[in-house]
Structure 1
Amino acid sequence: MTAQLAFDLPAPASLRREDFFVSPANALALATLDAGGWPQGKMLLIGPEGAGKTHLAHVWAGSAGATIMAGGSLGQADIESRARTPVVVEDAADVAGDPRAETALFHLHNRLAERRLPLLLTAATPPRDWGLALPDLLSRMQGTSVTRIEAPDDALLSAVLVKLFADRQITVPPTLIPWLMLRMDRSLAAARSLVARLDAEALARGGPVSRQLAAEVLDSL
Structure 2
Amino acid sequence: MTQNALPFDWPAGEEDEGFVVSPSNAAAVRHLNSHARWPVAASVLTGPRKSGRSLLGRIFVLRTGGTLIENGERVDETELFHAWNAAQETRRPLLITADHWPTDWVITLPDLRSRLMATPHVTLADPDDQLIGQLLQRLLERRGIVLPEDVVSYLVPRVPRNHVAIVRLADALDTAALSERRALTVPFARQVLGRLWETKSA
TM-score by length of 2: 0.77
1:88 aligns with 2:68: yes
Q: In the alignment, what sits opposite 2:57?
A: 57
Higher RCO, Cα 8 Å, sep 6+: 1
Report the Cα distance in structure 1 between the residues aligned to 2:147 and 2:130, rounded to whole angstroms: 18
Letter matched to residue 140 of structure 2: F
Q: In the alignment, what sits opposite 1:24?
A: 23
Alignment check: 8 A CA contact 2:137 2:146 kept: no
Structure 1 unpaired stretches of 5+: 1-13, 66-85, 96-100
Letter matched to residue 51 of structure 2: A
1:103 aligns with 2:78: yes
Q: In the alignment, what sits opposite 1:193?
A: 168
Given the superposition, is the C-alpha separation of residues 119 and 178 from structure 1 closer, same or farther in structure 2, using an over 3 Å criterion? same
Shift of the alpha carbon at 1:64? 1.5
The alignment covers a number of residue pairs equal to: 183
Shift of the alpha carbon at 1:105? 1.7
For residues 147-204 of structure 1, give each alpha carbon's deviation from its aligned partner in whole angstroms, at most 9, with x where no partner exists. Answer: 2323322212222222222233221222111111122212222101211222233333
Given the superposition, is the C-alpha separation of residues 167 and 39 from structure 1 closer, same or farther in structure 2, using an over 3 Å criterion? farther
Cα RMSD over matched residues?
2.4
Report the Cα distance in structure 2 between the residues aligned to 1:110 and 1:207, rounded to whole angstroms: 57
TM-score by length of 1: 0.71
Relative to structure 2, which stretch is displaced further, 129-138 or 119-128? 129-138
**Which of residues 120, 145, 154 is equivalent to 2:120?**
145
Q: In the alignment, what sits opposite 1:39?
A: 39
Alignment check: 8 A CA contact 1:15 1:55 kept: no
Report the Cα distance in structure 1 between the residues aligned to 2:47 and 2:112, rounded to whole angstroms: 21
Q: In the alignment, what sits opposite 1:161?
A: 136
Alignment check: 8 A CA contact 1:127 1:142 kept: yes
Shift of the alpha carbon at 1:145? 0.8
Percentage identity across paired residues of the two chains = 35
Report the Cα distance in structure 1 between the residues aligned to 2:116 and 2:165, rounded to whole angstroms: 30
Report the Cα distance in structure 2 between the residues aligned to 1:107 and 1:205, rounded to whole angstroms: 55
